[in-house]
């Protein structure tokens, strides 16, 4: 089968690799029809993780089931499914408590949480390929309704970024009528803005500096805060009568940088502490890593950041962190799409055949104007 294979920093190619196959009776085999390039793929693409050369990327996957193991009894051949990026067993203590983001059995002992095609997240191959093996298939597959094909670019957001954006807002503690500031207007930040709007936020502010992203944000009625035009904290204060936003969401991660490209892994966290009101809440879904050998300074190289902990504590804020437990939300977000309440595909700028993945990575990684979200379609002719 063809797959997007990593060969070192900023070097991917579409290679012929051994077909994914059913390896255990609980597996399903899925023919991928849509698979996104994610911002977190870029950390790996840039060589800022220990992702192994020769592995296949891709954790945001939709496809058709073409085979099931003998122990799979709910999922059927022919089902069109969304696979949460979390690989989860369904039976461990954390899975039983709904914390599929910290499954205790899908990674090596001592590490909780797993994902397809992801650094340090277990052995699972990615879905930027013609075929994907989905383990514990009855647990991990979410079946999609009749309109699965026609709304494919909406449903493909269910495997990661829509639930992840939703999770950031939920962790912030947003209540209807409250305001929220979201740092980062990339795909996850856009989904956080869509989520906050859907949950009834009175004012949604999104900090970014790229004109294409600010346009998308404004299309759904959120306020774009352009941090190339001055302090984002000051701008948020102006929008909130000097009080700060009720809630905040971090959708940037450890490669946060200023408009001149200088990296500072604490920049968005500290701006959030300053932008959110006393006793407000913050949800952090941007990726941070325990070790970052390519980091710009000694602290960063060891996964540490100079957090304004004094202000954070003094202001009585709380913060939720970590990856999203996709299964906690995806069934309900699927219904919002099916009933036309939301259209997360509004951020998609490019639908491309798998063969064009190397070019797409290059453009998306360079944050080129107009490359806001790429969906790859392995079945589509070049």
Q: Which two tokens stand for residue 305?
A: 């950041």
Does 160 bind Zn ion (CB under 5 A)? Our answer is yes
> Could you give the CA distance from residue 57 to residue 39 in angstroms, rounded to a whole number?
12
> Could you give the CA distance from residue 126 to residue 172 in angstroms, rounded to a whole number?
30
Smallest gap from residue 84 Cβ to Zn ion (A):
11
Residue nearer to Zn ion on the CB measure, 95 or 144: 95
Residue nearer to Zn ion on the CB measure, 101 or 274: 101
Residue nearer to Zn ion on the CB measure, 44 or 225: 44
Identified binder of Zn ion from the candidate list 103, 169, 216, 300, rule CB under 5 A: 103
Identified binder of Zn ion from the candidate list 22, 28, 37, 38, rule CB under 5 A: 38
Residue nearer to Zn ion on the CB measure, 92 or 199: 92
Smallest gap from residue 60 Cβ to Zn ion (A):
5
Identified binder of Zn ion from the candidate list 34, 89, 214, 249, rule CB under 5 A: 89
Instruction: Give the footprint of Zn ion on residues 193-252 (CB under 5 A).
Output: none
Smallest gap from residue 59 Cβ to Zn ion (A):
5
Phi and psi at residue 99, to the nearest 5°:
-95, 65
Interface region with Zn ion, contact rule CB under 5 A, candidates 66-74, 89-97, 171-179, 315-323: 89-97
Interface region with Zn ion, contact rule CB under 5 A, candidates 30-38, 114-122, 226-234, 266-274: 30-38
Q: In this structure, are residues 370 and 212 in contact, taking their beta carbons and an 8 Å threshold?
A: yes
Q: Which two tokens stand for residue 181?
A: 């500031």
Interface region with Zn ion, contact rule CB under 5 A, candidates 37-45, 109-117, 216-224, 269-277: 37-45
Query: Which of the 8 DSSP states describes residue 222?
Result: P
Does 92 bind Zn ion (CB under 5 A)? Our answer is yes
If phi > 0 it is left, if psi is from -120 to 50 it is alpha, else beta; for residue 128 that is beta
Residue number closest to Zn ion, CB atom: 38
- Torsional sign, CA 245, 232, 282, 276: negative
> Could you give the CA distance from residue 187 to residue 180 in angstroms, rounded to a whole number?
17
Question: How many residues make contact with Zn ion (CB under 5 A)?
Answer: 9
The torsion angle over the Cα atoms of residues 249, 253, 254 and 257, rounded to 10 degrees, is -80
Smallest gap from residue 266 Cβ to Zn ion (A):
23
**Contacts of 248 by beta carbon, 8 Å cutoff, 6+ apart:** 172, 180, 181, 182, 183, 272, 275, 276, 280, 281, 282, 283
Q: Which spans of this chain sit near Zn ion (rule: CB under 5 A)?
A: 38, 40, 88-89, 92, 95, 103, 105, 160
């Amino acid at each position: 089968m063809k797959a997007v294979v990593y060969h070192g920093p900023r070097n991917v190619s579409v290679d012929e690799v051994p077909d994914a196959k059913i390896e255990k009776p609980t597996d399903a085999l899925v023919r991928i029809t849509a698979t996104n390039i994610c911002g977190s793929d870029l950390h790996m693409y840039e060589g800022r993780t220990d992702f192994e050369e020769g592995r296949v990327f891709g954790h945001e996957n939709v496809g058709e089931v073409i085979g099931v193991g003998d122990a799979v009894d709910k999922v059927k051949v022919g089902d069109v499914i969304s696979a949460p990026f979390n690989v989860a067993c369904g039976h461990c203590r954390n899975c039983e408590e709904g914390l599929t983001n910290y499954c205790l059995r899908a990674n090596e002992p001592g590490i909780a949480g797993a994902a397809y095609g992801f650094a340090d997240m277990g052995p699972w191959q990615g879905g930027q390929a013609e075929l994907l093996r989905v383990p514990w298939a009855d647990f991990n597959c979410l079946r999609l309704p009749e309109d699965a094909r026609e709304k494919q670019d909406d449903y493909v957001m269910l495997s990661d970024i829509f639930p992840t954006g939703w999770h950031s807002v939920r962790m912030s503690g947003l209540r209807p009528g409250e305001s929220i500031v979201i740092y980062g207007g990339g795909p996850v930040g856009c989904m956080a803005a869509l989520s906050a709007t859907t949950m009834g936020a009175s004012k949604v502010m999104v900090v970014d500096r790229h004109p294409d992203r600010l346009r998308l944000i404004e299309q759904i009625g959120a306020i774009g805060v352009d941090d190339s035009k001055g302090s984002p904290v000051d701008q948020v204060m102006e929008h909130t009568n000097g009080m700060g936003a009720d809630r905040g969401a971090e959708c940037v991660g450890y490669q946060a940088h200023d408009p001149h490209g200088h990296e500072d892994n604490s920049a968005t966290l500290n701006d959030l502490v300053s932008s959110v009101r006393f006793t407000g809440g913050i949800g952090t879904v941007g990726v941070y890593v325990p070790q970052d050998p390519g980091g710009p300074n000694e602290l960063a190289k060891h996964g540490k950041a100079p957090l304004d902990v004094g202000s954070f504590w003094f202001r009585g804020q709380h913060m939720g962190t970590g990856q999203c437990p996709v299964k906690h939300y995806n069934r309900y977000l699927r219904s919002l799409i099916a009933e036309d309440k939301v259209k997360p595909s509004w951020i998609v700028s490019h639908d491309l055949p798998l063969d064009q993945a190397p070019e797409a990575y290059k453009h998306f990684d360079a944050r080129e104007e107009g490359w806001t979200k790429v969906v790859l379609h392995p079945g589509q002719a070049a």
